[in-house]
Amino acid sequence: SPYIVIRPARESFVVRRMGDRFRVEGPRVERWVAEVDMEDPSQVVDLQRRLARAGVERRLTEAGARRGHEVVIGGTTFEFLPGVGPGEDAGEGRRR
């Protein structure tokens, strides 16, 4: 009889530490960052939620990233601000 095998999705990105900076590489996360208007705080918060759901925030923390470290995704550099949610100002100091 036919059956379906369900496998957990593999994380489609890698986190590399480069001194005090961290680089996140992967086509999906790089596309998400490229599509966001970084001048729009609501889009930045939505992006952070999406990255957190994908496990990026967790993997950065596991790699040693702490609040204030620089994180590079694609051509954009961010200040690592774990846990920023609605009502917090994600727009200030987020992108360089």
Structural domain tally of the chain?
A: 1
Answer whether residue 45 is part of any domain: yes
Query: Which tokens go with 13?
Result: 């990105």
Answer whether residue 36 is part of any domain: yes
pLDDT tens digits for 57-83? 999 999 999 999 999 999 999 899 888
Answer whether residue 55 is part of any domain: yes
Answer whether residue 37 is part of any domain: yes
Q: Is-contact 48 56, C-beta < 8 A?
A: no
pTM of the predicted model as reported, rounded to 2 decimal places:
0.74
- C-alpha–C-alpha distance, residues 14 and 89, integer Å: 27
CATH number at residue 34: 3.30.300.350
Place of tokens 């961010």: 78
Closest to 27 (Cα-Cα) out of 95, 73, 60, 78? 73
Answer whether residue 50 is part of any domain: yes
> Taken in order 55, 89, 93, 67, is the CA torsion positive or negative?
negative
